[in-house]
Amino acid sequence: MVKQISASSEIPKQGKVILDFFTTWCGPCKKISPVFENLSKQYEKIVFLKIDAEDAEEIANNQYEIQSFPTFIFLIDGKEVDRISTSKETVLTEKIKIFKNDFV
């Protein structure tokens, strides 16, 4: 299940987390959103979070320096281990499989 957040205090400091930075006007963000939702149901041990970059500018600009949308950031125990900017379902799906299996 995907939860939308607007404060960095809502990001878990333990475990695997994927942040989806998006905007409401971004076409590619709208395209990939249902894919992200479906993947959250497949990988229940990973926390899936959405962050509207316009509502949470502090997180998007200052904390993670987001340059394009959508951007997915992969965290383990609060530390960034990877990031991708894509709206391609196959790329996101493969990256999450690797994240689930390879990063322990």
For residue 18 the two structure tokens come to 């994927």
Is 26 noted as a catalytic residue in this protein?
Answer: yes
One-letter amino acid for residue 36 of the chain: F
Place of tokens 């509207």: 52
Residue of 5, 26, 35, 46 marked active site: 26
Place of tokens 């695997």: 16
Label the pairing between strands 71-76 and 47-52: unpaired
Is 29 noted as a catalytic residue in this protein?
Answer: yes
How far apart are the C-alpha atoms of 59 and 87, rounded to whole Å? 21
Q: Which of 84, 6, 82, 75 is nearest to 46 (CA)?
A: 75
Residue of 17, 18, 19, 29 marked active site: 29
Residues annotated catalytic, as ranges:
26, 29
